[in-house]
Amino acid sequence: MVTSGLVVRSYSGYYYVDCAGVMITCKVKGHMKQKRFSLCTGDRVQLEVNPDKADEGMITAVLPRRNYLDRPTVANLDLLVITLALVQPDFSFLIADKLLVLAEAANIPVLLVLSKADLATEEQRETIASVYRKIGYETFVISSKTGEGIDALRRRLEGKVTAFGGPSGVGKSSALNAIQPGVFRTTGEISTKISRGKHTTRYTELIPFNGGYLADTPGFGNVMMENLEPDLLPAWFPEFRQFEAICKFSPCSHTHEPVCGVKDAVQENRIASSRYASYLSIRKEYEIRKIEKAGADWVHIDVMDGNFVPNLTFGAPVVKKIRNVTRMFFDCHLMVDHPETYIEDFAAAGADQIVVHAEATKHLHRCIQAIHAKGIKAGVALNPASSLALIEEILPDVDMVLLMTVNPGFGGQQFISSVLPKISRLRRMLDLAGLRTDIQVDGGINAETARQVVGAGATVLVAGSYVYGAKDVNAAVKSLRG
Ligand SMILES: Nc1nc2c(ncn2[C@@H]2O[C@H](COP(=O)(O)OP(=O)(O)O)[C@@H](O)[C@H]2O)c(=O)[nH]1
Ligand SMILES: [Mg+2]
Ligand SMILES: [Zn+2]
């Protein structure tokens, strides 16, 4: 007999298929194995039931998937419930936003559950929930302990195939238990019974529930973002869309572009600053993983304040977040007025070097000393039109001099070739003083200009658009090394 059903669980080569309420244990027909088709929980399949044993069968075909989640592995979800605790562990906007991006990218409808409401203050509930409700994400505030919000959530999930996802310890299993008592195991319960380690939900299993199914999943807090395509990232922040008409460039990365509706909206508080910070972190994390693999040595981080340069980018909080994803050398270029007021924050955020503009501070020497006092490297930067005389006296005290080869503020500009003799002159000044200080150049660097600046005496090249925009990042990095 041929019939169809839903894979509710898979386990070492066996698939448990729900056929209208009858559970049939299946293996996969040989011709399907050859296609290396990886069946998973949530797949809709066709099967042949064993004529002699009604609870055994062979899967012969799998129907096309509507959506698919890689980790945890599950297909065809009607809803992904992204669960995060309001407190214990502290709510993380970045983790919430990463999980939302994951769901958007996988085209799975989401619902946000903020748990442990009994432990949170009214203000904590309000500030967190309002960010997401404003965007249009359906948000439930619940407590598995007091039962708050559980009935409403249960009604919402009836008849749907739903998985709960989120970091471990946020109360996913507890919430599922409150919705449908007696089926889902929580960490707390198990760890008292098994002495070694805590129970983790190893595989995804769909549990029948009021005309639909529920699935618990292992915690996945640290979502890897390296597989995301950065050009698509804005589309996964749905609230950006209505402001993108104002962006001068299309596509706009909403980072360095001069006229950008998204950045304006952040300034005007029409887009939550936490969401924009997450956007920048996810983008930077992706770039860092990419250039790290390609063999770059440093991450150069442009910090702009909207005053010293007519543009605004991220500050120390974002640096702190991306510090978690890599051990690469963080070279923070402060294009800001009064850089001395930022040193503390950037050092604490994990900068390995802070570079300040000679034009931006009245007390350059004190500023460089303050950076060194943090135990990190200090550099001084000069705009294309600024004279080397500005930094001559400070040369013995700095680890690096950055000569801008474009006017700072925006990416993708033309290299100003009159800076070449300036690089040579600086190298001679350093030689005369017996210094082996690095000379860094930033702006308009590609394979051709790289050759010229290295010839003039530059030792550290900053490449932005040329590398990130390249089809082959590895080749682009290699071409700069010459
Ligand atoms: N106070 C309080 N604690 C909760 C709540 N939900 C879960 N917890 C506790 O948080 C811990 C982790 O819960 P669990 O459901 O296993 O989290 P999971 O890893 O996301 O499945 C356990 O110690 C629970 O007792 C809640 O609503 N209020
Ligand atoms: Mg759990
Ligand atoms: Zn934009």
DSSP per-residue string spanning 356-394: EEGGG-S-HHHHHHHHHTTTSEEEEEE-TTS-GGGTGGG
The helix (run of H) or strand (run of E) holding residue 105 is helix 93-105
Number of the ligand closest to the Cα of 187: 1
The CA distance from 164 to 204, in Å, is 10
Per the CB < 8 A criterion, the answer to whether 164 and 214 are in contact is: yes
Q: Which range has the worst mean pLDDT, 163-177, 352-366, 370-384, 458-472?
A: 458-472
Could you tell me the pLDDT band of residue 189, with boundaries at 50, 70 and 90? very low
Q: What was the pLDDT predicted at 141?
A: 98
Q: What is the pLDDT of residue 284?
A: 84
User: Mean pLDDT score of the chain, rounded to an integer?
Assistant: 88
Query: Which atom number of ligand 1 is nearest to the Cα of residue 201?
Result: 21
**Domains in the chain, start-ordered, CATH in brackets?**
2-64 (2.40.50.140), 74-216 (3.40.50.300), 230-481 (3.20.20.70)
* Distance from the alpha carbon of residue 202 to the mean position of ligand 1, in angstroms: 18
CA of 185 to the centre of ligand 2 (A): 7
Q: Ligand 1: which residues within 6 Å by Cβ?
A: 115-116, 118-119, 143-145, 168-174, 186-188, 219
**DSSP letter assigned to residue 85:** E
Q: Does residue 114 carry a pLDDT above 90? A: yes
Q: CA-to-CA distance for 240 and 22, rounded, in angstroms?
A: 46
Q: Does the structure show a pLDDT above 80 at 263?
A: yes
* Distance from the alpha carbon of residue 231 to the mean position of ligand 3, in angstroms: 12
pLDDT per position as a tens digit, 323-332: 888 888 999 9
User: Which residues, listed in sequence order, are joined to residue 3 by a DSSP beta bridge?
Assistant: 47
Mutate to test the pocket of ligand 1, among 143, 146, 174 (most ligand atoms within 8 A of CB): 174
Ligand 1: which atom is nearest the Cα of residue 187?
16
Convert the pLDDT of each residue in 368-422 to its tens digit: 999 999 999 999 999 999 999 999 999 999 999 999 998 877 666 788 988 999 9
* Nearest CA owner, ligand 1 atom 6: 171
- Atom 7 (ligand 1) nearest CA: 171
Atom of ligand 1 at shortest range from CA of 117: 27
CA-wise closest residue to 360 among 386, 336, 392: 336
> 182: alpha, beta or left, given left = phi > 0 and alpha = psi -120 to 50?
left
Furthest CA-CA distance within the chain = 93
User: Of the bound ligands, which one is closest to the alpha carbon of residue 174?
Assistant: 1
Which residue minimizes the CA distance to atom 25 of ligand 1? 188
Q: How far apart are the C-alpha atoms of 100 and 166, rounded to whole Å?
A: 10
pLDDT of residue 398: 97
* Packed helices 273-294 and 473-481: angle between N→C axes, nearest 10 degrees: 60
Q: Look at residue 182 and tell me whether its pLDDT is greater than 60.
A: yes
Nearest protein CA to atom 9 of ligand 1, as residue: 171
Residues with CB under 5 A from ligand 2 (ion): 172-173
pTM of the predicted protein model: 0.78
Q: Where are the alpha helices (DSSP H) in 106-182?
A: 122-135, 150-157, 172-179
Q: Which pLDDT score, from 0 to 100, does residue 372 have?
A: 96
User: Distances from the Cα of 230 to the Cαs of 70, 217, 226, 357, in angstroms?
Assistant: 19, 27, 9, 30
Q: What is the pLDDT of residue 73?
A: 85
Residue 59, pLDDT above cutoff 80: yes
Would you state the pLDDT for residue 8? 96
